[in-house]
């Protein structure tokens, strides 16, 4: 058990039968009354984000999750196959278990699968992923106003906005937090 005053960002806790990752917390000591802790929590089973307030005397059970690096192999219907590069063990996840992170998957991408005991909860993507641009428009001379961007299609089929100087065949880094262009790879 861990006191809510000792909670840190990134910790995983168990509350009301759910497993949460702490995204943000704020310890509040009002002028009158008891102190409390406001937390922004991500449910690791459903992916939903909730905000909860706890009295400062509350204790939560610490959830011990294990992150296992695995490589994405292929998609077969609604099943997505991942392989442990050390043991060559293969695991399949459904599109509902992967959720919104599905659009970032590409072959041979290494991700962390998250386990709670023997239960496979989901996956964790790297912060930035390297993609090759398969199609983009040519930049038009004179169309260089500040911050001008054009559409580009990535190797996994996702379309993003990139600066005008990026050409077809180049590698770019894309953020998995917001799906935006970061830099050339």
| Domain co-membership, 69 together with 56 | no
How do residues 38-82 score in pLDDT, each as one tens digit? 999 888 877 788 999 888 888 888 888 888 899 999 888 888 899
Q: How far apart are CA 138 and CA 168, in angstroms?
A: 9
pTM for this predicted structure: 0.71
| Domain co-membership, 106 together with 75 | yes
| Domain co-membership, 11 together with 26 | yes
Identify the sign of the CA torsion 50, 56, 60, 62: positive
Structural domain ending residue among the three candidates 45, 62, 79: 62
Q: How far apart are CA 144 and CA 139, in angstroms?
A: 9
Q: What is the mean pLDDT of residues 160-171?
A: 87
The domain total for the chain is: 3
| Domain co-membership, 149 together with 180 | yes
Structural domain ending residue among the three candidates 124, 141, 175: 124
């Amino acid at each position: 058990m861990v006191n809510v005053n000792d909670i840190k960002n990134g910790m995983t806790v168990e509350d009301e039968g759910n497993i949460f990752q702490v995204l943000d917390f704020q310890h509040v000591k009002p002028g009158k009354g008891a102190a409390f802790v406001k937390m922004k929590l991500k449910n690791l089973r459903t992916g939903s984000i909730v905000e909860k307030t706890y009295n400062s005397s509350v204790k939560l059970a610490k959830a011990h999750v294990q992150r296992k690096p695995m490589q994405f192999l292929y998609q077969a219907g609604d099943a997505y196959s991942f392989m442990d590069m050390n043991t060559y063990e293969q695991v399949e996840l459904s599109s509902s278990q992967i959720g919104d992170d599905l659009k970032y998957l590409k072959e041979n991408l290494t991700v962390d699968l998250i386990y709670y005991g023997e239960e496979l909860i989901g996956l964790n993507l790297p912060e930035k992923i390297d993609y090759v641009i398969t199609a983009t428009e040519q930049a038009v001379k004179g169309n260089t106003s500040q911050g001008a961007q054009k559409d580009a299609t990535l190797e996994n089929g996702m379309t993003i906005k990139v600066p005008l100087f990026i050409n077809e065949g180049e590698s770019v880094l894309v953020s998995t937090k917001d799906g935006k262009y970061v830099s050339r790879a």
